[in-house]
């Protein structure tokens, strides 16, 4: 049996679950720790079924009360797994496979869907463009939230597979807290971060977080440097009125971005690369990716009384992304030379402005508790693209010892020219209710209406395209408490997906030729504590059906074609278990069968085929051992099954299992020192496979890093 299969068997034997970590390693923290913490952060963390959460509902439901599969990677989990960016955090959650190939920003695969079919949000706000979701350093983030399946009733369109929400740290009502981190590892990977939360007086608190990260990269010539900053000011204006001003700013620069390794000829069956050249970078020497991002939020909370509260959020985003690269590489028939092509120079200017107002009310109906949330959201999302590209072959080089050359050596490349511009205006009305039917049975319902005005302005001189879309989406679910430790749930939810994936970046032909895609999900599950609450587990089974899908053409990924229907059926399991007072395990596993039910055109019939870059099995497991109050060690494994590169399922990249470990020493109550190893077996694996050119994005090889964390 192969090693990956053995690893998966071990994981399933433990009945998989989301990972958690203790923030207090004293002897008193040997009890089972839950996953979600929304109060005293000094408490242990793990799967907590009973603490109110924000994910999956606007009603403040606990995980047990929510008729859906929800999970949270909090700050303690990120520290335990050594998350360097928010994608590391989301990959620890059940069923998620996230990667960051340069042209896609942040690509998330979940429940048989990926790309724009997974809604990625920042503090509950969607940028509606996957390239804007490039991973940001984890330091400024407090936690990452996940809800499975259609969630348009919460966040609007583009969420048939699920929604991921990245939540930044904000000021808290704490006198003073200072924490920081210094880290250094292989490939000159470094981090220097600091966070300060301080009371100015009895009614004003501020928080400041800053992180600088850098690396020479495990791929040749790929250097990266980023600065992340978050500032917030919390003011209690009256006993009932408070206001939070939050600002985040990011600058990132990457030299000679890695666009993948060409796969060997002939391209058939399992795709392979030349292992001797696994770290070669075939981009030009002055290749470039840069982004500058600014977020501003103004959040006003007013508590009318114990039952009624109002929240208003004004939000502003401004992002600029620059690309200048040679992106496509193809081996000759005998693998002796590589053609370099696909010169691409582009700028994205994106601005989002909006305002959301929410009213919550805790009341009664028919002498039973009845809680409501309702509100309005209006936003204007505009993006202008400045594209210059040349698809022809630039040169032919040997696989090693070649001259990288410079971008402007490419004939025909010049200054940026303004291209298409899209403006998307969205007006939304939403409502949600939890109605207690009996002391053990509750009905949870939600409904949302989105009106979308879309204007597409092509390159100067062409005619504008305008379209309007109206969508209704919702959820209906039941939660039954069998006992105080065991609950069962079922739900039905729907989604709406705009043509072209996201309207913010859609081409005119994608909007003219296609309409809204509809999705629906049926999910059943259970959430329970077991063995005197030493263990906590969740199980979810689901089926998602999506109709009238806009997908990239099997023969030309730059064109869009229509697929009739896709179905995803799956099972997710999660558990935390305190084996002994000193040893605990956390794991999760997901199984999904995704296939096209109706998809055929002139290039072929793809009925029954799995979409590309979708794994059908994923699992994570960690074993944490704390022999004393000063020492902690952990060993983890992650398994991802093989994925297909093409719609016909004739080309694929193999499955892989990664092994990580760490050893932490608590010097005193203020200082921790951690030695961490990643990919200990030095596995050669692909995090993503390019659809059009079968380029293999090699994952990070074995690495070691040392970090020092302090808090006061």
Q: What gap in Å lies between CA 553 and CA 583, rounded to an integer?
A: 50
Write down the pLDDT at residue 710: 96
Domains of the chain in start order, with CATH, are 8-158+170-711 (2.40.170.20)
Determine the Cα–Cα distance for residues 645 and 505; give it in Å rounded to an integer. Answer: 24
Query: What is the separation of C-alpha 534 from the centre of its chain, rounded to a whole number of angstroms?
Result: 30
For residues 361 and 308, the answer to whether their CB atoms sit within 8 Å is yes
The radius of gyration computed from the CA coordinates of the chain, to the nearest angstrom, equals 25
Residues with Cβ within 8 Å of residue 431, at least 6 apart in sequence? 372, 373, 374, 375, 446, 447, 448
Q: How is residue 482 written in tokens?
A: 């069998």
**3-class secondary-structure state, position 473:** strand
**655, 650, 651, 672: which is closest to 663 by C-alpha?**
672
Alpha carbon of 684 to those of 8, 106, 613: distances in Å? Answer: 18, 21, 17
**Which residues have C-beta within 8 Å of that of residue 68, sequence separation ≥ 6?**
56, 147, 148, 149, 475, 477, 489, 491, 493, 523
Q: Which two tokens stand for residue 376?
A: 């309005």
Q: Are 472 and 448 in contact (CB under 8 A)?
A: yes
Q: Which residues contact 352 (CB under 8 A, 6 or more apart)?
A: 125, 127, 315, 316, 317, 379, 380, 381, 382
Alpha-carbon distance 538 to 64, whole Å?
A: 9
Distance CA 510, CA 422 (A): 12
Q: What angle do CA 527, 529, 533 make, to 5 degrees?
A: 165
Q: Which residues of the chain have pLDDT under 70?
A: 1-46, 103
Query: Which residues is 529 bridged to in the sheet?
Result: 536
pLDDT digits 0-9 by tens, 405-422: 999 999 888 888 888 899
* CA–CA dist 484, 439 (Å, integer): 11
Report d(CA 92, CA 77) in Å as an integer.
Answer: 9
Name the strand (E) or helix (H) holding 414: none
Q: Which residues have a Cβ under 8 Å from the Cβ of 177 and sit 6 or more positions away?
A: 195, 196, 197, 198, 711, 712
How far apart, in whole angstroms, are the C-alpha atoms of residue 161 and residue 135?
20
Cα 518 to the chain's mean position, in Å? Answer: 22
For the chain, how many residues are written?
Answer: 712
Element counts in the chain: helices (H) and strands (E): 5, 37
Please give the C-alpha separations between residue 398 and each of 260, 280, 337, 338, 559, in angstroms, as whole numbers: 16, 11, 5, 6, 32
Pairing of strands 223-236, 176-185: unpaired
CB 468 within 8 A of CB 451: yes
Residue 81: the pLDDT is 94
Q: b/e string for 476-490 if b means 16 or more Cβ within 10 A?
A: bbbbbbeeebebbbe
Q: Which of 438, 341, 345, 331 is nearest to 393 (CA)?
A: 341
List alpha helices for 432-588, DSSP H: 508-513
SS3 75: helix
3-state secondary structure of 28: helix
Residue 435, strand partner residues: 370, 443
Enumerate residues 6+ apart whose C-beta is below 8 A from 13: none
Task: Identify the CA nearest to 129 among candidates 145, 118, 140.
Answer: 118
SS3 103: helix
Distances (CA, A) of 115 to 133, 569, 609: 10, 18, 18
Three-point CA angle 499, 501, 505, nearest 5°: 95
Q: How far apart are CA 280 and CA 257, in angstroms?
A: 11
d(CA 709, CA 178): 11
Of all residues in the chain, what percent carry a pLDDT higher than 70?
93
Q: Which of 151, 6, 7, 62 is nearest to 635 (CA)?
A: 7
Taking CA atoms, 40 is separated from 36, 37, 301, in Å, by 11, 7, 21
Strands 223-236, 241-255: pairing kind: antiparallel
pLDDT in tens, 243-258: 999 999 999 999 999 9
Q: Of 356, 339, 523, 528, give the one whose Cα is nearest residue 430.
A: 356
| Backbone dihedral angles phi then psi of residue 269, each to the nearest 5 degrees | 60, -130
């Amino acid at each position: 049996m192969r090693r990956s299969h053995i690893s998966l068997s071990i994981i399933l034997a433990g009945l998989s679950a989301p990972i958690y970590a203790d923030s207090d390693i004293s002897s008193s923290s040997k009890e089972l720790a839950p996953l979600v913490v929304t109060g005293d952060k000094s408490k242990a963390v793990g799967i907590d079924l009973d603490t109110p959460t924000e994910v999956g509902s606007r009603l403040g439901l606990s995980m047990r009360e929510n008729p859906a599969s929800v999970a949270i990677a909090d700050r303690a989990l990120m520290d335990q797994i050594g998350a360097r960016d928010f994608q590391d955090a989301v990959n620890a959650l059940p069923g998620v496979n996230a990667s960051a190939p340069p042209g896609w920003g942040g690509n998330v695969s979940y429940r048989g869907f990926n790309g724009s079919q997974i809604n990625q949000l920042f503090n509950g706000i969607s940028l509606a463009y996957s390239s804007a979701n490039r991973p940001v350093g984890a330091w400024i983030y407090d936690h990452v939230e996940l809800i499975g399946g259609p969630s348009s009733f919460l966040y609007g369109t583009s969420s048939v597979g699920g929604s991921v929400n990245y939540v930044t740290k904000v000021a808290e009502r704490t006198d003073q807290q200072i924490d920081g981190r210094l880290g250094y590892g292989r490939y000159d990977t470094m981090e220097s971060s600091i966070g300060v939360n301080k009371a100015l007086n009895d009614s004003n608190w501020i928080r400041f977080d800053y992180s600088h990260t850098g690396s020479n990269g495990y791929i040749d010539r790929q250097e990266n440097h980023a600065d992340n900053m978050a500032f917030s000011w919390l003011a209690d204006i009256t006993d009932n009125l408070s206001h939070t001003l939050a600002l985040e700013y990011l600058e990132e620069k990457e030299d000679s971005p890695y666009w993948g390794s060409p796969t060997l000829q002939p391209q058939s069956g399992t795709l392979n690369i030349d292992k001797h050249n696994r770290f070669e970078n075939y981009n030009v020497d002055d290749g470039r990716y840069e982004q500058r991002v600014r977020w501003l939020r103004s959040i006003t909370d007013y508590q009318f009384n114990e039952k009624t509260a109002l929240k208003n959020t004004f939000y502003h985003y401004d992002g600029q992304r620059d690309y200048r690269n040679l992106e496509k590489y193809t081996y000759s028939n005998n693998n002796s030379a590589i053609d370099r092509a696909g010169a691409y120079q582009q700028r994205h200017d994106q601005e989002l402005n909006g305002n959301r107002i929410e009213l919550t009310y805790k009341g009664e109906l028919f002498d039973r508790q009845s809680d409501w949330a309702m509100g309005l959201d209006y936003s204007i999302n505009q993006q202008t693209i400045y594209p210059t590209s040349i698809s022809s072959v630039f040169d032919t080089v040997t696989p090693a010892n070649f001259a990288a050359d410079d971008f402007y050596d490419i004939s025909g490349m010049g200054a940026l020219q303004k291209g298409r511009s899209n403006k998307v205006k969205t007006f939304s009305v939403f409502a949600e209710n939890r109605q207690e039917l009996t002391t053990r049975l509750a009905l949870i319902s939600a409904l949302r209406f989105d009106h979308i005005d879309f204007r597409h302005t092509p390159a100067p001189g062409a005619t504008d395209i305008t379209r309007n879309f109206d969508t209704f989406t919702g959820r209906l679910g039941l939660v039954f408490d069998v006992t105080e430790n065991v609950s069962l749930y079922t739900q039905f939810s729907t989604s709406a997906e705009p043509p072209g994936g996201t309207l913010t970046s859609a081409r005119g032909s994608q909007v003219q030729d296609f309409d809204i895609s509809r999705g629906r999900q049926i999910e059943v599950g259970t959430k329970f504590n077991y063995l005197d609450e030493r263990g906590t587990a969740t199980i979810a089974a689901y089926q998602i059906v999506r109709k009238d899908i806009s997908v990239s053409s099997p023969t030309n990924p730059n064109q869009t074609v229509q697929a009739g229907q896709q179905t995803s059926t799956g099972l997710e399991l999660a558990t935390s278990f305190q084996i002994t007072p000193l040893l605990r395990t956390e794991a999760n596993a997901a199984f999904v069968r995704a296939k096209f039910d109706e998809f055929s055109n002139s290039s072929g019939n793809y009925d029954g085929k799995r979409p590309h870059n979708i794994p059908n099995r994923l699992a994570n497991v960690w074993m944490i051992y704390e022999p004393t109050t000063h020492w902690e060690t952990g060993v983890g494994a992650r398994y991802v099954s093989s994925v297909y590169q093409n719609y016909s399922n004739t080309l694929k990249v193999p499955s892989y299992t990664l092994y990580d470990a760490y050893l932490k020493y608590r010097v005193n109550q203020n200082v921790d020192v951690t030695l961490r190893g990643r990919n200990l077996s030095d596995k050669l694996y692909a995090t993503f496979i390019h659809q059009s050119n079968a380029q293999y994005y090699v994952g990070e090889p074995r690495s070691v890093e040392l970090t020092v964390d302090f808090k006061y």
